[in-house]
Amino acid sequence: MRCPYCQYADSRVIDSRTSNEGRVVRRRRECLSCQKRYTTKEHVEEAPLIVVKGDGRREAFNREKILHGIQVACSKRPVSTEVIYKFVDEIEAALRDGNREEISTRAIGQLVMDGLRRIDEVAYVRFASVYRKFQAKEEFLEELKELSNQQPVFV
């Protein structure tokens, strides 16, 4: 690892720690030439996950889109930012652990709705109304009726 200060090619590792659920290794290093310290991060290169849209278009997976949709659904609800970020991490892990290179937006949307149903029912209905493109109040009422008929789920 080249020193960012003097460009010397050798260093020693002072400390190593894992982060991001073991997916990243953070190393504190010291240059053997100038003795300055710096941090490096090492992570596994993952194959890109491709999202297949409803019209057949394909694009790279973007966790920020999922995060934004969940944040909008949970706005002004008693759902902490920590819970939202953990939920998005779980969704991304489930998608990547499926050993698939391509995933449909339908499958992603279903994962989000299943999780939101457990986290906050109002956020679930908000997300479902946008995701399923509700056009009439009857669609809302049908979703609420189905939600009230289900057994309570505890997180």
Count how many domains the chain has: 2
Q: Which residue has the higher pLDDT, 101 or 147?
A: 101
pLDDT tens digit sequence for 3-30: 999 999 999 999 999 876 677 899 999 9
- Which one-letter DSSP state was computed for residue 7? -
Cβ atoms of residues 66 and 108 within 8 Å: yes
Is the same domain home to 38 and 76? no
pLDDT at 103 over 50: yes
pLDDT value of residue 13: 95
Cβ atoms of residues 52 and 64 within 8 Å: no
pLDDT at 71 over 90: yes
- Residue 117 lies in domain: 50-149
Residue type at position 124: Y
pTM of the model: 0.61
pLDDT at 155 over 50: no
State the Cα–Cα distance between residues 112 and 120, nearest whole angstrom.
Answer: 12
Count of Cβ atoms closer than 10 Å to residue 89 Cβ: 14
- What rounded mean pLDDT belongs to the chain? 85
Averaged pLDDT for residues 125-144: 73
State the Cα–Cα distance between residues 16 and 108, nearest whole angstrom.
Answer: 35
Is the same domain home to 71 and 120? yes
Is the same domain home to 31 and 94? no
Averaged pLDDT for residues 55-76: 92
